[in-house]
């Protein structure tokens, strides 16, 4: 991990939980900014360009955690770790609409939270970079800025969608199996199955346009370029 730790925005209205998260993250070297509702949180995100957002589902005011996550997604790529009081919200949290990077169900151990934050940041900020920008036709995958552009226009992707695109771009022209993609993007300990890859590829095609040079290689998997 970089010696220079980044900023974490924590959006949580329960002061006890917020203080605990604040304490443990600061102890681990992060700069922590706390918000008690969605509006305040979105302002902090805009001002501080955080590395990750920790987001409670149930928030006071007009925006709940799901609304806040959609706003974050609409504006760019920042990883989101959800806090939830309910097991039955997990499918929605990890689903395509919100595409959160991880979640914890309350009550959780603050040490576990720090470990999860570290794991997300390892995945999203320490991808080995071969070329800074990979170009295929009018698609540019900017690995340093973590941006995908089509015809010069930035396309909003979830962190996982970008990671998948970046992994394909780092292996330009090579057919990769679904298992290779799962291991490379989701990590060996991911519990999902290979359809996860298909669903995310479909999302990339939808967002980046059907003419995207992302080919299905029958009997193998996928290839970019």
Q: How far is the CB of 1 from Ca ion (least distance, A)?
A: 29
Decide the pairing of beta strands 133-136 and 7-11. unpaired
Q: Give whichever of 59 and 181 is closer to Ca ion, judged by the CB atom.
A: 59
Tokens at 133, concatenated: 């920008």
Site residues for Ca ion per CB under 5 A:
13, 56, 58
The closest residue (CB) to Ca ion is: 58
Q: How far is the CB of 8 from Ca ion (least distance, A)?
A: 17
Q: Give whichever of 56 and 101 is closer to Ca ion, judged by the CB atom.
A: 56
Q: How far is the CB of 83 from Ca ion (least distance, A)?
A: 8
Q: How far is the CB of 92 from Ca ion (least distance, A)?
A: 16
Q: Give whichever of 105 and 136 is closer to Ca ion, judged by the CB atom.
A: 105
Nearest to 9 by CA among 17, 1, 20, 25: 25
Q: How far is the CB of 115 from Ca ion (least distance, A)?
A: 22
Q: How far is the CB of 60 from Ca ion (least distance, A)?
A: 8
Q: Per this entry, what is the length of the chain?
A: 225
Q: Give whichever of 58 and 213 is closer to Ca ion, judged by the CB atom.
A: 58
């Amino acid at each position: 991990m970089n010696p220079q730790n980044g900023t974490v925005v924590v959006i949580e209205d329960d002061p006890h939980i917020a203080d605990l998260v604040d304490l443990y993250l600061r102890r681990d070297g992060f700069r922590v900014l706390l918000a008690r509702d969605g509006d305040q949180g979105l302002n902090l995100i805009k001002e501080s360009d955080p590395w990750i957002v920790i987001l409670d589902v149930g928030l006071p005011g007009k925006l709940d955690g799901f609304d806040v996550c959609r706003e974050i997604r609409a504006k760019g790529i920042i990883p989101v770790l959800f806090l939830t009081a309910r097991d039955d919200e997990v499918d929605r949290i990890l689903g395509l609409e919100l595409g959160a990077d991880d979640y914890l169900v309350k009550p959780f151990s603050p040490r576990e939270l720090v470990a999860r934050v570290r794991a997300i940041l390892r995945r999203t900020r320490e991808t080995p970079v071969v070329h800074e920008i990979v170009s295929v036709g009018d698609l540019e995958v900017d690995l340093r800025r973590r941006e995908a552009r089509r015809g010069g226009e930035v396309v909003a992707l979830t962190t996982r969608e970008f990671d998948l695109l970046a992994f394909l771009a780092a292996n330009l022209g090579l057919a990769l199996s679904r298992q290779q993609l799962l291991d490379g993007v989701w990590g060996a300990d991911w519990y999902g199955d290979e359809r996860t890859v298909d669903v995310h590829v479909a999302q990339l095609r939808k967002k980046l346009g059907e003419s995207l040079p992302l080919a299905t290689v029958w009997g193998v998997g996928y290839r970019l370029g």
